Structure 1
């Protein structure tokens, strides 16, 4: 791997860094190079240097709906915790990619803006939420998205509109073109602060009651198959509570896999494959993963 970190002395890098420190599952192998740019200029420098040296780039957000395999990630991994500014102007909220979507919903509520309540408990970053068209409780990012600043692989920054993003279920165009979301603007409506807060509180209480937030997890593992609900299918298959290594199908919500005993990413992958195989055999239903799975298998 030929990424000359010494030529970018002002940027924070960590070499051979365990990505398990940064994922919600507490699993994942090492990154060859992990970068923490502080400014757009530093981000552009990293992308330009990687392109010139033909080094692959991977961006991870809050890693809340992500499995990184135990072999880690080759090339350079970029994480954007320094990009966390949130600004409100009239009925629009603009948040940098590293800001949490939760903090963005809080900023909207404080400004008396409604539309983002569905995301009040989503633990991801704004960049990840746009990338994945994150959603919950009947709402999706696409419902309130206006535009995003995106750094293209050639080092140029462009603005992508709603139509440019080609949103679909847990998908946006930046998944296909290698762009890096720098910031996003959401178009909201005026509302009553107390009513907005009540809805956020209701949804957060619902999340706490139904989801296994007490354990590390990667969030909802599977996309909802047409005509079915994933959790009940897994329960009917007799797999609730099933363990592979330290990974378990949650007893609280069968659509989640939790790390109960020092699980590895391989444990997660093997349990996912077992669930898919069993549900297909029993009900002839194919389960496709919603969680993003990246990296290399351990050799």
Structure 2
């Protein structure tokens, strides 16, 4: 990796580090190192990084704020690309929003609300970035990305930038085509509606208050761990099974919400994985319902 590090450093693509601890880059604060870590400072730098990855036939992985990730204690082999400050541009043209994949969702929802633009209120409590939200069709409060997104610009592994329409993204519950075919969302376009800034801000605050009162918002966690096995809800099943507060090692089912696992005391990724498996077995035995993870597990 030293040769690749030097090449990327010469290209001045942004921050480049060897053996970067990924616990620093996930909201759970667990995970081993990346062989090579790159935080591009622009879309052009991202394209140049992908060119080098392709040239050396390296494994790679893109991350954002790390809010929906569980990375193993062994870390990730190859290159980890973090989309953050260098790809966080925002342009408004009437009700049309063009925004970089590295833009965090919560501040974006707040800014749009103050401008009297509606449609993004659901995102006011989602602790991720735009790219990750596009990738997994993030949602809350009865809405999701598919309700406001018009298209997304994707960088393919061969270095080609192209726009995918909403239909081409093939959205369903917490799923998109990007989970089955490799590509990095670099920016997204949204169609919003005009509204009353005061009403939008009040709705945003109500959603935030609800999250703060019902979820471990300020704890080290990855967000919802399990997909809801509709018409049931994972959190309710886990609570009814008496598992709220259950702990393995440093990982704990949140006492506040059953569908959250928190890093209660210097947890390892393996602690979280073991707790996930324990919860899945318990719910299967008690209700004969299979829980499937919403959090993306990288091992």
Separation in structure 2 between the aligned mates of residue 98 and residue 230 of structure 1, nearest angstrom: 29
Which one of 42, 46, 52 corresponds to residue 43 of structure 1? 46
Separation in structure 1 between the aligned mates of residue 3 and residue 49 of structure 2, nearest angstrom: 9
Number of aligned pairs? 295
Which deviations, in whole Å up to 9, do the C-alpha atoms of 1:19-48 show, x marking residues without a partner?
A: 000110010000000001111221111111
Please state if 1:286 is matched with 2:284.
Answer: no
Separation in structure 2 between the aligned mates of residue 103 and residue 234 of structure 1, nearest angstrom: 31
Which one of 150, 174, 177 corresponds to residue 178 of structure 2? 174
* Contact residue 147 and residue 186 of structure 1 kept, 8 A: yes
* Contact residue 5 and residue 17 of structure 2 kept, 8 A: no
Which deviations, in whole Å up to 9, do the C-alpha atoms of 1:156-176 show, x marking residues without a partner?
A: 100111111000111111222
Map of 1:259 onto structure 2: 263
Map of 1:64 onto structure 2: 67
1:1-299 mapped onto 2 (5 Å cutoff) = 4-8=4-8, 9=10, 10-11=12-13, 12-81=15-84, 82-294=86-298, 296=299
Q: Which runs of no fewer than 5 residues in structure 1 stay unpaired? A: none
Which deviations, in whole Å up to 9, do the C-alpha atoms of 1:208-249 show, x marking residues without a partner?
A: 000012310011000001221212211222211110100001
Higher helix share: 2
* Contact residue 110 and residue 204 of structure 2 kept, 8 A: no
Separation in structure 2 between the aligned mates of residue 233 and residue 111 of structure 1, nearest angstrom: 40
Which deviations, in whole Å up to 9, do the C-alpha atoms of 1:242-283 show, x marking residues without a partner?
A: 101000011111110011111111000000000000110111
Separation in structure 2 between the aligned mates of residue 124 and residue 227 of structure 1, nearest angstrom: 26
SS of structure 1 residue aligned to 2:217? coil
* Contact residue 60 and residue 78 of structure 1 kept, 8 A: yes
Separation in structure 1 between the aligned mates of residue 37 and residue 97 of structure 2, nearest angstrom: 29
Q: In the superposition, relative to structure 1, how do residues 223 and 126 fare at CA in structure 2: closer, same or farther (>3 Å)? A: same
The TM-score, its normalising length taken from structure 1, stands at 0.96
Which deviations, in whole Å up to 9, do the C-alpha atoms of 1:112-155 show, x marking residues without a partner?
A: 11111011111100000000100001010000001111111110
* Contact residue 5 and residue 18 of structure 2 kept, 8 A: no
Separation in structure 2 between the aligned mates of residue 238 and residue 127 of structure 1, nearest angstrom: 35
* Contact residue 28 and residue 71 of structure 1 kept, 8 A: yes
Separation in structure 2 between the aligned mates of residue 39 and residue 231 of structure 1, nearest angstrom: 39
Q: Which runs of no fewer than 5 residues in structure 2 stay unpaired? A: none
Alpha-carbon distance, 1:6 to partner: 1.2
